[in-house]
Amino acid sequence: MKTLTKDDLLSLEDYARQRNDFRAKVMEHKKVRQVYLGDHAAFYFEDRLTMHYQVQEMLRAERIFEEAGIMDELGAYNPLIPGGKDLRATFMLQYKQVSDRVAALAKLVGIEETIWMQVGNLGKVKPVANEDMTVESDDSKTSAIHYLRFPFSDAMVLAAKQGEKLSIGIDHPEMTVALDPITAPVATSLVSDFD
């Protein structure tokens, strides 16, 4: 999947005119790119469209129109666009109460290392976590947000394109949950990320 360039972006004025329609399109697209595991774990699978929207929104919010600032935003968000043999996701641990979140993040240290995806029965794929992003994690707590890249083999990509089921799960001692299989509309959207 191609990364975004400055030429792909709308000017602040053009984006202001098109924002409502563009936002509606992206929100509809995002509905089939979300996976929830249990009550507190959510995966938001990113692609070129979701990152285009994110960059446009950042430029709008920060009133960025100079090239250096635009390039900084592209540099920050392009790493979340899939590369053709992988899937990229923003993983979030979501709790309504701050006290519940603080307690959970202390118990879930290393959760990003226990996440997996699977195509059919071809073996679990562990994600590369936070390689291009900074998160606030240490030995006493994990971050509520992690950025994941799931690298798939050629055989896995081919199997997914041929309709093998996709599964996802977490095998942490404090959170063990799986979705097997991922629902068809979401799986179809994710497989479209493969070249």
130: in domain: yes
pLDDT tens sequence across 122-146: 999 999 998 866 677 677 899 999 9
1: in domain: no
As a whole number, the mean pLDDT across the chain is: 95
More confident residue, 137 or 60: 60
The CA distance from 58 to 12, in Å, is 11
68: in domain: yes
Prediction pTM value: 0.93
Q: Which of 176, 162, 160 is nearest to 86 (CA)?
A: 160
pLDDT attached to residue 180: 95
Domain that includes residue 41, residue range: 6-191
Number of domains in the chain: 1
